[in-house]
Amino acid sequence: MCLYVTSKKDQEQYWVDQTKPYRYITVPEFASKFKTFHVGTKLSNELSVPFDKSKGHKAALVFDKYSVKKSELLKTCWDKEWMLMKRNSFFYVFKTVQIIIIAAILSTVFLRTEMNTRNVADGNMYMGALLFGLIVNMFNGLAEMAMTIQRLPVFYKQRDLLFHPPWTYTLPTFLLGIPISIFETTAWMVVTYYSIGLAPEAERFFKQFLIIFLIQQMAAGIFRFIASICRTMTIANTGGMLALLVVFLTGGFLLPRREIPVWWRWAFWASPLSYGFNAISVNELFAPRWMNKLSSDNTTRLGTTMLNMWDVFDDENWYWIGIGGLFGFAVLFNGLFTLALSYLDPLGKPQAILPKEEDESKKEIPMENVSTKKGMVLPFTPLALSFDDVKYFVDMPAEMRDQGVQETRLQLLKGVTSTFRPGVLTALMGVSGAGKTTLMDVLAGRKTGGYIEGDIRVSGFPKKQETFARISGYCEQTDIHSPQVTVRESLIFSAFLRLAKEVSKEEKMMFVDQVMELVELVDLKDAIVGLPGVTGLSTEQRKRLTIAVELVANPSIIFMDEPTSGLDARAAAIVMRAVQNIYC
């Protein structure tokens, strides 16, 4: 059924029976009448009989969810992820430089010339350096949360259209992040390990290298998982940080393991940092330089005393237990990341906001069109715009000069002359590339480059751009509305910015309400604008909002660049009806 037939605003023109007064026919009425119609009855009878699949052709049946092989989908997603990483190369370079700078600062604070291994106090200094490195590399993955959330809208659209399964998206993200993590871990270890003066054995250097690498992989996984669960930066920055706070509190270093309340003891074993902290502590404090010395009681080894003081397991096997725990958490969080992308939908549905309509099927509307137009609170001054022999030039592109073109300028407008009268809707029509938008930009004074020639006048006076900008409005083809405000708030913001200070607050608010009624936005006044194609208003509603934002400035002349582009017939009719309300 054509949508414009069911629209309250458009249905009246299709009323056939002139002997009866028009009344609005609702969609349920259309549906019930169609079901009693012989065509609807025939369709109902056909649909009531189940289809016999044995009679269907095998080629007509689809057995796979995706028409392309999984290996090809994985390769395509791998290539896409690699391309995105190359495009975001500055981000990864910046992260590496950042971690090098932090490592250099840490090395100067805990410089090996000032570090000793004589007693417990010296051991605490080394433990502080190890803990700081653990936390820094944990938060090094925080940037993954913002990047993942920014990419979710595109992923959800591709997932819902069955472009690829979620695991072909998450697996390349995980695998291609490994070389970058290895490079960052290498930079951290080279700068800090021997500068601080940690255990000099090469074996312990590479063991700590593995710990830092797995900490980064686990952190990247947990931040991706938080992003896939929260799905917006606002929720991720609150709920996600709360989860991280619990992980830090139960990691065994802020609060020793034995000091954690019994009912929270399970969180210690569920905290990834507890495994990392135990592994990195055991790796350092089981070194010969700690175990070959006695503590102050002359019976216990200094390394064992340090482990007991920090409530770390005094078993060297805990290094490999910690490594296994970190590896398991890295796999677990990336697996949960995949599951979240598979089953969770975006918080904001990509559907347009539909205004509530009252049931007017009982109402009788007279056939005669009665003008209900009211006077505006702020009447505008009608002005005419005329231009004579307008020309517009730009510098000749380098590509054309390389092909032998001798001219220094390229002419885009050639002697255009016309007049725009007040109260008359004038349309510029032509094929793509004819110069319609260019002419409007020149007349509106929006061209900041190039060379303009010709005479442009406003009601007979030469146009001055400073004055013309205050009496004109320009509706661009693509809007830039703030997504987190309502329709009415957008108009109020524009009105208070652009109307003269002599206009009182009450008059501005009344004018905003009148403009909303003019462009039929009253039912949507409290709707959130949202993001184009993701949440909030539909394309047609955003077009009307764009027009309203310019109208609340009370312009005498308004330019509209392709107000119906990208709209279907009904949406274009609604927009043009709003335009008609302006000048009629």
67-81, 127-141, 364-378, 393-407: least confident range: 364-378
With bands split at pLDDT 50, 70 and 90, how would you rate the model's confidence at 6? low
Task: Give the chain's mean pLDDT.
Answer: 87
Q: How confident is the model at residue 350 (pLDDT cuts 50, 70, 90)?
A: very low
Residues whose CB is less than 8 angstroms from the CB of residue 233 and which lie 6 or more positions away in sequence, other chains included: 146, 149
Q: What is the pLDDT of residue 349?
A: 54
Strand partners, 416: 390
Measure CA 257 to chain center.
41
Q: What is the pLDDT of residue 507?
A: 92
The answer to whether residues 534 and 153 touch, using CB atoms and an 8 Å cutoff, is: yes
Type of residue numbered 382: P
pLDDT digits (tens, 9 = 90+) for 260-297: 888 888 888 999 999 999 999 999 999 998 888 888 87
How far is residue 543's CA from residue 457's CA, in Å, rounded to a whole number? 29
Q: How confident is the model at residue 351 (pLDDT cuts 50, 70, 90)?
A: low
Mean pLDDT over 397-420 rounds to 88
Over residues 98-127, the mean pLDDT reads 88
> Which pLDDT does position 356 carry in this prediction?
57
Q: What is the mean pLDDT of residues 546-563?
A: 90
pLDDT at 361: 46
Alpha carbon of residue 243 to chain centroid: 23
193: nearest Cα among 95, 284, 294: 284
Instruction: Report whether 164 contacts 73 (CB < 8 A).
Output: yes
Q: Which phi-psi region, left, alpha or beta, contains residue 536 (left: φ > 0; alpha: ψ -120 to 50)?
A: left
Architecture of domain 385-583: 3-Layer(aba) Sandwich (3.40)
Judge contact between 276 and 211, C-beta under 8 A: yes
**pTM (2 decimals)?**
0.69
Q: Given CA atoms 193, 198, 200, 206 in this order, what sign does their dihedral have? A: negative
Average pLDDT on 236-245 reads: 83
In DSSP terms, 462 is beta-bridged to 457
pLDDT of 424 reads: 87
- Does residue 330 or residue 565 have the better pLDDT? 330
- DSSP for residue 393: E
pLDDT at 368 over 60: no
Provide the 10 A C-beta neighbour count for residue 548.
25
Mean pLDDT of 468-486: 89
Given a cut of 70, whether residue 364 has pLDDT beyond it is no
Task: Write out pLDDT tens, residues 304-320.
Answer: 998 888 889 989 999 99
User: CA-to-CA distance for 435 and 574, rounded, in angstroms?
Assistant: 26
Q: Who wins on pLDDT, 454 or 356?
A: 454
d(CA 381, CA 508): 17
Going by C-alpha positions, the residue among 290, 338, 1, 245 that lies closest to residue 125 is: 290
Residues of the chain with CATH 3.40.50.300: 385-583
Closest CA to 105 of 28, 25, 196, 21: 196
CA dihedral 446, 448, 452, 457 (to 10 degrees): 40
pLDDT higher than threshold 60 for residue 365: no
- d(CA 121, CA 100) in angstroms, rounded, equals 28
pLDDT exceeds 70 at position 485: yes
- Inform me whether the pLDDT recorded for 76 exceeds 60: yes
Alpha helices (runs of H) in 140-166, residue ranges in sequence order = 143-160
- Interval 382-396: pLDDT, tens: 899 999 999 999 998
- Residue 328: per-residue pLDDT: 96
**CB neighbour class for 555 (10 Å; exposed up to 12, middle 13-18, buried from 19):** buried
CA distance 150 to 338: 16
Q: What is the percent of the chain with per-residue pLDDT over 90, rounded to a whole number?
A: 46
Dihedral angle, C-alpha 314, 317, 318, 320, nearest 10 °: 160
pLDDT exceeds cutoff 90 at 457: yes
For 81-102, how does the pLDDT look when each residue is reduced to its tens digit (9 = 90+)?
Answer: 999 999 999 999 999 999 999 9
pLDDT at residue 325 greater than cutoff 90: yes
CB distance 454 to 389 below 8 Å: yes
Mean per-residue pLDDT for 433-457?
91
**What pLDDT, on the 0 to 100 scale, is given for residue 2?**
57
Answer yes or no: is pLDDT of 448 > 50: yes
Q: What is the DSSP letter of 14?
A: G
State the CB neighbour count (10 A cutoff) for residue 265: 12
pLDDT of residue 63: 66
pLDDT, position 244: 82
pLDDT value, residue 202? 93
Does the pLDDT value for residue 374 go beyond 80? Answer: no
Work out the average pLDDT over 408-421. Answer: 91
Q: Is the pLDDT of residue 334 over 60?
A: yes
Task: Answer with the residue of higher pLDDT: 49 or 334.
Answer: 334
Q: The tokens of 469 are what?
A: 């900008």
The whole-angstrom separation of Cα 246 and Cα 250 is 6
Query: Quick one: what percent of the chain has pLDDT higher than 70?
Result: 92
Q: What is the pLDDT of residue 26?
A: 86
pLDDT of res. 314: 87
Between 554 and 62, where is the model more confident?
A: 554
DSSP for 62-73 reads: ---SSSS-HHHH
